[in-house]
Amino acid sequence: MMTLDVAFLPSELAAKAIEGSLAVLVDVVRASTTITVALAHGCSFVRPVLHVEDAFQYAQDAHDSVPLLLGGERGGRRVKGFDLGNSPREYTREVVQHKGIIFSTTNGTRTLLALNGAAQIVIGAFVNMAAVCQYLADRCASRQTSDTQSDTVLIACSGVVNTFALEDTVCAGMIVHRLSTACPDMIKTTAATSAEILYRHYQADLLGMLHISDGGQRMRHIGLEADLPVCAGIDTYPVVPKFCEGKVML
């Protein structure tokens, strides 16, 4: 029997069943949205790194077969010397197609790298909700007959500097709702049920929810409020980014 669980904060991951799990990274505002948009627009890969210095060093030493861009933020703003920030609106097809992106953000990349040990890691957001949920449902169906794989789907919310993020939890709750509907035999933890309840409360106005969230207010404060409608778009991109061997790819 598959278990569906949610980690509201990265600090909770140490106590969660990561090893062998199906893991989903959620950072709605904005890393998981931006990664999804970049790959949907033809980016070859996104390589997450923990520190800004790591990004510069990798770009200097890399021998990749495609041109590289540096993307990411600190405090919501583009890092000095990077080609791109963390706004999904920057990652157009004209900019990113057939290029690799070395990517470092305040919250999302840190949480993604903390999921080391999971059997599979996918990137989830509102913008690719249907594709991610279908992918997870298919994987869960195949795992029901396996005795060698973990029976846990773990949704990891990135939060904001290890504090609760409303938008991540609502997105996690939407995944819980859709996946448990598709796979009714799944066992939801209390955390998963709580996230689903929060999603049901806000489902009629996800953009309004983003505007009142800490993440949304932070975007407004730094002049990037126009990112929020992109982040709130449901099923805009039918792709499932997967993190494997240091790269996120389709």
Q: Give me the mean pLDDT over the 135-154 stretch.
A: 80
Domain boundary pick from 86, 106, 126: 106
pLDDT band, very low/low/confident/very high, at 58 (cuts 50, 70, 90): very high
Q: How many domains does the chain have?
A: 2
Q: How far apart are CA 240 and CA 42, in angstroms?
A: 13
What's the chain's average pLDDT? 96
**Host H or E run for residue 6:** strand 3-7
Residues 177 and 214 in one domain: yes
Whether 159 and 24 have beta carbons less than 8 Å apart is answered as no
Residues 115 and 201 in one domain: yes
Could you tell me the CATH number of the domain that includes residue 188? Answer: 3.90.1560.10
Q: How far apart are CA 52 and CA 54, in angstroms?
A: 5
The domain of 146 spans 3-29+110-244
Domain boundary pick from 88, 106, 124: 106
pLDDT band, very low/low/confident/very high, at 171 (cuts 50, 70, 90): very high
Is 18's pLDDT higher than 70? yes
Counting every residue written for the chain, the total comes to 250
- pTM for this entry: 0.96
Q: Tell me: the pLDDT tens digits for 84-130?
A: 999 999 999 999 999 999 999 999 999 999 999 999 999 999 999 99
Higher per-residue pLDDT: 62 or 229: 229
